[in-house]
Each structure stands twice: as C-alpha cells, then as structure tokens.
Amino acid sequence: MTPSSIQECRDLTRDIARGIAPPRFYTEHAGEIARAKEYAAQSRIVGMAEAVMREKGSALGHGYEHAHNVAIDAAAIILCETAQGRAEEALGVLGADLAVLALAAGYLHDIRRDQREHPLRAAEFAREFFRDALPEAHVAMIAFAIRNHEAFKEQERTDDPATMLLANALYDADKFRWGPDNFLYTIWDMAESLGFSPRTIFRHYRKGIEGIERVRHTFRTGTGRAYGPDFIERGLEIGRELYQVCGEK
C-alpha cells in the first residue's frame, strides 16, 4: 500500500534501513573519515563554503546534508588515494591540502542545483566565492572538479594529476549518495521540493532504479571503484524492500 505522505515514506525507509549494514567504506576507512572531519573543522576556507551552503538550504532536494556528506567523503577519498608518499610526490601536492580543496568543492558543488546546467553555474559561483581567498590555481582546480561532477556526461580532461584526482574524488563522493542516502533523504527531499506525491514517486520508481544501476559502473578513483558498488547495492537493498511494500502491484 502506497503511503499517503512523504513523511510516512521517510519513516518507513528509515525502519527498513535499520536492518541493512552501512557501506563498508565507513568501517574500513573510519580513520580517513575522521581526518576529513578534522580538516573541515580547522579550515577557514571550508568553513566559508559550509556556511554559504547551510544558508542556501535545499536546492531541488540537494541541501546542506547532501553537500556535507559529499564534502567529507570526497576528502576521505583523497586521503585514501594519497596514503602512499609516492602518490603525493607524483601529484606535487600534499594529500591534506588536496583534501581541503575537496571539502570546499564538496560543499559548493550543488549550490546552483536549482538552475539549468547547475555544475557550470556552481563552478562559476565557486570561482567568484574563492577569488580573494585562495590562489588562482586552487580556485581553478575547485571549479574544474565542480564542473565535472555530473553523471552520464562527458568528462573534461587535464594533464594535471592533482586536478584530475580532485575532480574524480568529488564525482565518486557525489555518486556514493546514490546508495542509502538516495532512499533515506534525496528522493523525499526532491519530492517535497517539487510537490510530488508518494504515488507519483512509486509510479516512476522502476525507471529511477535503472539509473542507479547504471551509475554503479561509473566510479573514477580506485577507492570509488572499490567501494562505490557497495554503496549502490546497500541502497538498492533498501529500495527493493521499499518497493515491495509500497509499489504499485
């Protein structure tokens, strides 16, 4: 039976999720997650980006909580990818410094989610926002990453490995959200933002699941490829049970 309200959908999804283990990334890389949170708390630049996203609120269902999770996970992916000193030497930048840029990009990547071509618009916003706060090279890296976070779009390329890693980490962290977060928050936030009813959501549910299945194969970093499919599968576990209970028979 389809719930009569979005809040009922949220409550039911949370009940289902309690019976499903969290993604392995959070248990196997708890140390990197903790360090990412420390950098977020210590960085003035990150604090600026976090504050403006918190003030923005929801943008078509992609609000502060989504941005926060992307920011932390993007920084943690950077730390995983640069765990070996050789990797930092090849990149020409410390993993900690790149993690801070990932945090900044993560908080702002959807700041223009309610506009057409939102990655481009968000990148333009980030360029102006950080213009006097960061070196131009770092601003350009953040803007590049934000422009390239959308799924199923052709990715820009650059010869700079640090910029590519930053962009790929942001992409993967954003696509981690297509796992449990998609069912716990994003679907319902978007439904409320657009005025959709639960019946409308479940009418198009199967098509939405197909898109989630497709993203499973698009992760770009080694860390993303190792853990992204697990995020997707945990989310689909929730989605399958939810549809079994609520979907149109």
Condensed to tens digits (0 to 9), the pLDDT of residues 149-174 reads: 999 999 999 999 999 999 999 999 99
CATH of the domain at 68: 1.10.3210.10
pLDDT-derived band at 83, boundaries 50, 70, 90? confident
pLDDT in tens, 89-141: 556 567 889 999 999 999 999 999 989 999 999 999 999 999 999 999 999 99
Pull the structure tokens for residue 19. 């019976």
pTM of the model: 0.94
User: Does some domain include residue 104?
Assistant: yes
Whole-number percent of the chain with pLDDT over 90: 77
d(CA 68, CA 52): 12
Residues contacting residue 148 through CB under 8 Å, at least 6 positions apart: 119, 155, 156, 167, 170, 171
Task: Tell me, yes or no, whether 1 lies in a domain.
Answer: no
Per-residue model confidence (pLDDT) at position 101:
97
Q: How many structural domains is the chain composed of?
A: 1
Q: Has residue 85 got a pLDDT over 60?
A: no
How far, in Å, CA of 98 to CA of 234, rounded?
29
Q: Is residue 50 one of the residues assigned to a domain?
A: yes
184: pLDDT strictly greater than 80: yes
Say what the pLDDT of residue 46 is.
98
pLDDT (0 to 100) of residue 248: 59
User: What is the pLDDT at residue 213?
Assistant: 93
| Residue with token string 């770092």 | 138
* CB distance 228 to 219 below 8 Å: yes
User: Would you say residue 28 lies in a domain?
Assistant: yes
pLDDT at 211: 87
Q: Position 102: which residue type?
A: A
Say what the alpha-carbon torsion angle 187, 80, 98, 42 is, to the nearest 10 degrees. 80
Q: Which domain covers residue 87, as residue numbers?
A: 6-246
In a domain, 140, yes or no: yes
pLDDT range class, residue 240, cuts 50, 70, 90: very high
Residue 113 lies in a domain: yes
- Give the model's pLDDT for residue 95: 82
Q: Is 67 domain-assigned?
A: yes
In a domain, 18, yes or no: yes
Provide the mean pLDDT of the chain: 92
The residue-averaged pLDDT of 48-55 equals 96
pLDDT given at position 1: 73
What is the pLDDT averaged over residues 202-211? 87
